[in-house]
Every structure is written in structure tokens, then in C-alpha cells.
Structure 1
Amino acid sequence: MTTTTARRNTDLYPTRGAEEVVTPRRDPVVWSAPGAPGPFTRTDLLGFERDGFATVEEMITDDEVALHRAEMERLIADPRVRADERSIVEPASGEVRSVFEVHRLSPVFAALVRDERLVGRARQILGSDVYVHQSRINVKPGFGASGFYWHSDFETWHAEDGLPNMRTVSVSIALTENRETNGGLMIMPGSHRSFLGCAGETPADNYKKSLQMQDAGTPSNAALSTFADEHGIRLFTGRAGSATWFDCNCMHGSGDNITPYARSNVFIVFNSVENAAVEPFAAPVRRPEFIGARDFTPVR
């Protein structure tokens, strides 16, 4: 038996079965040693371990916000990008909702994922070199852009991409102001310590539907109510350039944006090189590489 096969058969977090199952987290939250050097302080890391998230008031400067927002606008206006499978459009309006793998489409975003302010924090949390499992820009214009329903990213990345362990961290950098009213990110603090295995099988090519409207891998209302009662809900606001780092297993979501004010962000997922994807744990086929990378080259 090969090492890959052995890892594939060791499923620490069962999901997409006949019923929902809650499994206690079997992995560390912060993988580095206490006091590991890097941009995060010891207090930051302790808060991340406790809550599952950390905020940075100025992840990038105002000038960098302007640069990245202009690049976002260029990408979504490019007919070639819009026609690419990496672009996801709103079902109702036909407007671009997300563009994936932006660090490969754009030199501007390629430079961002290599920035030590980002990579250094990812290494601190994950305790190793990292690679980019996923990158995307999320465009949430005003007057009707739809939200993202409650979910754990790890549930999908484990089930459909084959990430074995919870050794993955996301950063969402605001390119517009995050207000209380324009569909901001919500997280249930502490929810990262329990894995909610969802009920139901994964359809073939599920990603084509789930990127517009999540279905498979969606928790039940009863489970969400229990989690919310236990953990509460935190809504994140902040000026453009601020960032939220959050653990892969945080229960999170965002509401529709019916205000006139856009909420757009760049979203980068760093995974440990020691947690490379194997075969999916609860899906018939892998998702495309622009959604779940199979190039495990460390970010340098």
C-alpha cells in the first residue's frame, strides 16, 4: 500500500453520509511553537487559537488597495476572463460574482500572495512552508448581490479536494469598506473546534452549482441553530485594506448586499505543504485545479 493510499483511507472527518455527525477537532489550530517569529504577536496567535480568527486593521496600504481594486475591475471587465471557467456569474443578474486563480491570471495578485505580510502569517499559523490552495476575487456589488450561506470551508476541501487535515488558513482582504449593512463576513467564534459532517451525497461536477449556490455540504437549520446558540455570531467590519484571517473549519457565511455600497475582497487560501491534497474523501471526482490546487510548490 502506498503512502498516498494509506492517507486517503484514513478519514478523520467523515461527512456527506446518511446523517449529520459532529466530530471533535483532531488537529492543532496553531501548528507553530509558542512565540514563533513572524508578523503575528503571541497575543494574536492565542486569540486565533481560541476564536478561530484574527483581524489586521491594515493588511495593505491605501495605495495598494487602489492598485488591487483597479486590477479587480480590469479582470471582471475583460471578456476573455468572463468567458473563462474560472469566472462565476450571478444566476439572476449575470454579473461576475467571483474569479478564481487570480494569482495565475494577474501579476498584481501573484505578487500579493508572495508578500511576506501574508506568507509570514500563514507560516506562523500552519507551522511549515505553505502553498496556495485557492485564490479568488469576490465581487459583491450593491443592489442585490447574493451572499454565501453558512458553511465550513474545510468540509468542502476535505470532501471534494482531499485535504486530509485542518492545516489550512484563509485571509480575506477588503478592497472596499466592510460595513454592517453590505453583506459582511460572519463567523461563529470557536466553531472551528467541532467538525460538522453534513448529510447527503456529492453530485458529480457539484462545483458548477455550488459556486453559485451551495447545496451539498450545507448544514441543517437545526445544526446551525445549535452552533449559533453555543458560539454566537461575529460580524466583521473594517476599512478597505483591512483583513480577516480565519481557520479552515470556522462556520461562516455572509448575507445578500441590498445596499448601494459594494463589498469586494481578495480571498487567499494557504495550505501546509505537509497537508497536500490526496483523493477526495466524499466526492466521485476531484474539483478542477483552479478551485483546489494540485501544485504544492511552496510560496517563495
Structure 2
Amino acid sequence: MTATARPDLYPTRVLGESVPQPRIDPTVWGNGPGPLSREQLERYESSGYLVLDGLLSDQEVKTYLAELQRLSEDPVLRASERVILEPEFDQLRSVFEVEKVSELFAELLRSPRLTDIARQVLDSEVYIHQSRVNYKPGFGGAPFHWHSDFETWHSEDGMRQPRAFSFSISLTENHPFNGPLMVMPGTHKSFIPTIGETPQNYHEESLRVASPSVGSPDQRHLTRMAEEHGIEQITGPAGSAVMFDSNLLHGSNGNLSPFARSNIFIVYNSVENTLEAPFAAPKPRPQHLSNREFPSASA
């Protein structure tokens, strides 16, 4: 008896030419009530992102900044695999799986003000696929190259469909000059395969370098997408947030200013979209990068 091949709706990490395909899944999966208005949902569906002003109070920002500092000074945490350092100097770039190392962050990530939005958009119960805090220090915080998160989560983690999205919550002001998030609005509606096989343990390279060797669309496709959709910078005060679709092309410049750009980053995935075997990698990434435990985010 011949085994049935597993369907791959979004093939990537190809050899040869990359041919973009239209997204076959929705961005907003349901039409039920929730915290977001119909206008906000329509804007998110169209652009692939939505800015939420004043998500955190000034006092909450101070509290979470202090927690960010505490984590950066924890020698045990710093020596763990959850911590990624800047490529050019010995400063923290990211701390992953923050709900496991901070009760304060765990409470925020599982709070209804975030999870109710996730349930509304994804039309199901949700769980935390990935979380981290990004430090992006002044005078040298490295850039993040253009990419679609879903392309990585599909190829390396085994996420079937783009039924997931991210929150980036600012703990410092996002200026045009300190490396804010950049997006190409509307690009979430096209899936762009990337070229090249995934190396063994590729996450050890991709999380530490400014321009990973695999996993970003080539310059030809990036140029065409930028010409068609434009590029927007997400700036704003501390306490604001942006939610963006898992397939939206995004990146950020390096930070040459004296002012850090620190944020909390959370990915919510539908419990109906839990991870399988990777679609284009030798083995799954570690648990702290791709959660394979599936309790509800609000548990």
C-alpha cells in the first residue's frame, strides 16, 4: 500500500525559480463579535496590520521595562538557549519564551485584552506559538531582514496555514531613526517561496545574523512588492501596539541612534492549526522557538 503524500499548500525553500502564489486562506477567519470593530477588521484584512494606540498605560510600560532590565541582568537566563545576542557585540538581541521566565509577561500574554482579539480574528481558541522580548539597543542594534514569518513557521516549524498573527507591543518610543518595524501593506495576500534548502540547525544562524542565507524573498520579488504596495514605518509612543498577519512582509533597519527600541512580541496561533512535521527542514526548531504544547493562551 502506497502512503499518501502530505498536501503542502504553500511550498517553499525551492530549488530554481521562486513563483509567488495567491494566498488561499483568509486573514480574518470569522465574523463574530469581539474587541475589534468591523472597520478595524476590514482595515486589518486589507492591509495585513493594525495599529492599536494606548494598549498599555504609562505605569504598565514602566513596570515591563523594569522587568526587561531584570531579565537582561539574569546570568542563568543569559547563558540559556532562550537568549540571542547581537551579532556584532555582546548585548541582548532577544529573549524567547518569556512566559516561561517572567510571571509578569506571562500574565500579559494570557490576558483577555490580547487573547480576545486573537480569538475574534482567528475564530477559534488560541495558544502562544512563540513569544520574545526584543531589546534592539542603541548604537548598533542590528536590522531584521525582509521576511514573512509564516514562510519560516511553515517550512521549519510545520505550521500548515497562515492562521496566526503577531502582536508587537512597544516599551519604548518608535522613532523613524531607531529601527522601527517596516511593513509592505497588502503583501500578506501573496505567498512568496524562498530559494534554497534549509540547513541543519539553521535557527542557530538565522536568529543571529542581519541577512540570513535562507528564508527571505529574493531582491527581484522584494522590489516588485515594494513598488506595488509601498513601505510603511510603524512609529508611535511606548504602550502602543501593532498586530500583523503571519504572512505580511516586514523587517526593520538597524539602530544607530542612542535610543533603544524595545518591544514585547507574541504570536497567537489557532488550536486548529497546530504544528506538524516541518514542510522544508530536516527537523523541527526547538520548543522555545516553536511551541508544540497546546494549552489555551488564557490557561
Question: Normalization by structure 2: what TM-score?
Answer: 0.96
Instruction: State the distance in 2 between where 1:205 and 1:25 align.
Output: 28
How far residue 21 of structure 1 moved from its aligned partner, in angstroms, is: 2.1
Give the structure 2 partner of residue 285 of structure 1: 283
Structure 2: any 5+ residue segments left out of the alignment? none
Contact 2:87–2:142, Cα closer than 8 Å, also in 1: no
Name the structure 2 match of 1:90. Answer: 86
> Which has the higher mean CA deviation after the structures are superposed, 241-250 or 207-216?
207-216
Match for 2:253 among 247, 255, 267?
255
- Alignment of 1:104 onto 2:93: no
- The residue aligned with 1:48 is 44
Note the 1:122-141 alignment, pairs <5 A: 122-141=118-137
RMSD value, Cα: 1.2
Q: Which residue of 2 aligns with 1:276?
A: 274
Please list the CA deviations of residues 57-83 of structure 1 after superposition, one character each: whole Å capped at 9, or x if unmatched: 111111111111111110011111110
Q: 1:147–1:255: 8 Å Cα contact kept in structure 2?
A: yes
Match of 1:227 among 222, 225, 228: 225
Aligned partners of 1:113, 1:21: CA distance in 2, in Å? 36
Match of 1:265 in 2: 263
Q: Which runs of 5+ in 1 are unaligned?
A: none
Separation in structure 1 between the aligned mates of residue 76 and residue 177 of structure 2, nearest angstrom: 33
Quick one: distance in 2 between partners of 1:222 and 1:134?
30
TM-superposed CA distance for 1:215, in Å, is 2.2
Q: For 1:102 and 1:216, how far apart are their aligned partners in 2? A: 26
Letter in 2 for 1:14: P
Which of 53, 61, 72 is 1:65 aligned to? 61
Residue 74 of structure 1 aligns with which residue?
Answer: 70
What is the TM-score when the length of structure 1 is the normalising length? 0.96
Q: Aligned letter for 2:113?
A: R
> Could you give the per-residue CA deviations for residues 212-254 of structure 1, whole angstroms, max 9, x where no partner exists?
1222111111110001011101100010000000000000000
Do the aligned residues in 2 keep the contact of 1:15 with 1:21 (CA within 8 Å)? Answer: no
Q: Pick one of 196, 199, 204 that aligns with 1:203.
A: 199
How many equivalent pairs are there?
A: 294
Which residue is 2:244 aligned to? 246
Cα deviation, 1:39-96, whole Å, max 9, x if unaligned, reads 1111100000000000101111111111111111100111111100000001211111
Quote how far apart the aligned CAs of 1:32 are: 1.2
Q: How many angstroms apart in 1 are the aligned matches of 2:204 and 2:268?
A: 23
Residue equivalent to 1:148: 144
Identity rate, percent:
50
Q: Aligned letter for 1:141? A: P
**Who is 2:8 aligned against?**
11
Report SS of the residue matched to 1:245.
strand
CA distance in 1 between partners of 2:275 and 2:136 (Å) = 30
User: Do 1:22 and 1:195's aligned partners in 2 also have CA atoms closer than 8 Å?
Assistant: yes
| Correspondent of 1:161 among 140, 157, 160 | 157
Partners of 2:200 and 2:18 lie apart in 1 by 21
